[in-house]
Amino acid sequence: MSVRVKLPSVLQEFGCGAEACEVTGKTVGECIKNLEMGFPNIKNHLFDRQGKLLHIFGIYLKSDGIQPVDLDTPVQENDELIILSFIMGG
């Protein structure tokens, strides 16, 4: 499936240099893996050393609204995945 992955500005320089990149995959996890293969630098900024998604990021699927998803969630042709950064602390 061809899927659009929208990146927060803090990650754009490690992706395709634009607000969104086109990738393929059947699940969210595959899409992210293919994003990393195309742009290896992004992995270091999206995941920790154990390969877990850093908690300051969340991955959401834009379909009917925006829903949080995990890496196993299947995707459809022309879906849009949005990676958001969530930084609010004290």
Partner 1 sequence: MRGYTGKLLRVNLSKRESQVEDIPEQLMKDFLGGRGLAVKYLYSELKPGVDALGPDNKLLFMMGPLGATTAMSVSRIAAVTKSPLTGGVAKSIAGGNFGAFLKFAGFDGVILEGKAEKPTYIHIDGNGVYILDADEIWGLDTEETQNKLRQMHGNSTKAICIGPAGEKLVRYAVVISELRCGGRTGVGAVMGAKHLKAIAVNSSGPLGVYDPQQFKSLAREQIEGLRTSPRRIQMTDFGTSYLTLGLEKMGIFPVKNFQEGHLEGVENIGDEALAKIKIKNDGCWGCMTKCGQVRKITEGPYAGAVSEGPDYETIWSLGGNLANTDQGALIAADSICDKLGMDTVSAGSAIGFACELFERGIITKKDTDGLDLTWGNHGDMIKLLEKIGRREGFGELLGEGTKRAAERIGKGAEAYAMHVKGLEIPAYEPRAVKGYGLIFATSNVGAHHMYGRPREELAGKADRFAEEGKGKDIARNEISQAVEDSVVQCSFTPATGFTPESRAKLLVAATGFNEFSDPAYLDLIGERILCLERSFNVREGFNRKDDTLPARMLTEPLNNAGPATGQVIRNLDTLLDEYYDALGYSRQGIPTEEKLRQIGLDWVIEDIKRVIS
Chain residues in the site for partner 1 (CB under 8 A): 7-11, 13, 44-45, 48-50, 52, 54-58, 68, 84-90
Question: Rounded CA gap, 70 and 61, in Å?
Answer: 10
User: What value, to the nearest 5°, has the Cα angle with vertex 22 and ends 76 and 62?
Assistant: 45
Give 26 or 86: the residue with its C-beta nearer to partner 1.
86
User: Min. distance of Cβ 30 from partner 1 in angstroms?
Assistant: 21
Nearer to partner 1, 2 or 44 (CB): 44
Give the Cα separation of 23 and 84 in Å (integer): 17
Taking the C-alpha atoms of residue 71 and residue 35, their distance in angstroms, rounded to an integer, is 13
Q: Which is nearer to partner 1, 40 or 48 (CB)?
A: 48
Query: What is the nearest approach in angstroms of partner 1 to the Cβ of residue 9?
Result: 5
